Amino acid sequence: MGKMALFGGAGWIGGAIFHSRKAQKALRKKQIVEAKTLYAQYYNDVYKLQEQNAELVNVVQKLQETLRKAEEKRELDTMQRDYDEFKQPDVDGDDRISRAEFNMYVKNYLSNYPGLSEKDYPRFEDFDHDRDGFVSFSEYSKQMKAQAKKAEQEAHYAHQSGSAAAAQRAGTKAAAYHGLAGENTRAGSFDDLYARYG
């Protein structure tokens, strides 16, 4: 009876060891298959994300190129418009405005706006930066930008001071310089510098 119990116990232990090893092998196989599946899914997802990222980079580059071209076109259009405005007082077509041309232009301009006087209009000296007696296109552009910036600052300070009337006048002045009453924001022309002042 003791031998039977001994052999039975040994057989049970041997069977348990055998079955546990078999179960471990099956579990390891299952884990390996699951790990391979997960790695395959992971690499597949990473590849798809890399493809999507490459597509997005391509789209961003195309949008940046479109934006750059649009900005260049806008700058060219603005420069052409500013040049056309600069040419209005240039009677002799020499691409510069003399004091006589400037004064004649101001006189004609003021005759169309009886509410304005000469003191409301910028002076020739404001534009003639190099004091050579002529206003070039670069001087004109530089002065218009400076005038627009000054008008913006005046509007800002007037708004901060709490004076609604002063803020409105300064805002109107800034709008005149920037051409905000027109189709887009840009430095104004001789025509619209003070036309909208209240």
Least confident range of 24-28, 65-69, 188-192? 188-192
For 80-112, the pLDDT digits (tens) are 988 998 999 999 999 999 999 999 988 888 788
Long-range contacts formed by 79-82: CB under 8 A, 24+ apart: 81/186, 82/137, 82/140, 82/141, 82/144, 82/186, 82/187, 82/189
Q: Tens digit of pLDDT for each residue in 118-148?
A: 776 788 998 999 999 999 999 998 888 888 8
Single pTM value for the model: 0.51
pLDDT digits (tens, 9 = 90+) for 150-185: 878 877 787 777 665 555 555 554 444 444 333 333
Q: How far apart are CA 86 and CA 104, in angstroms?
A: 14
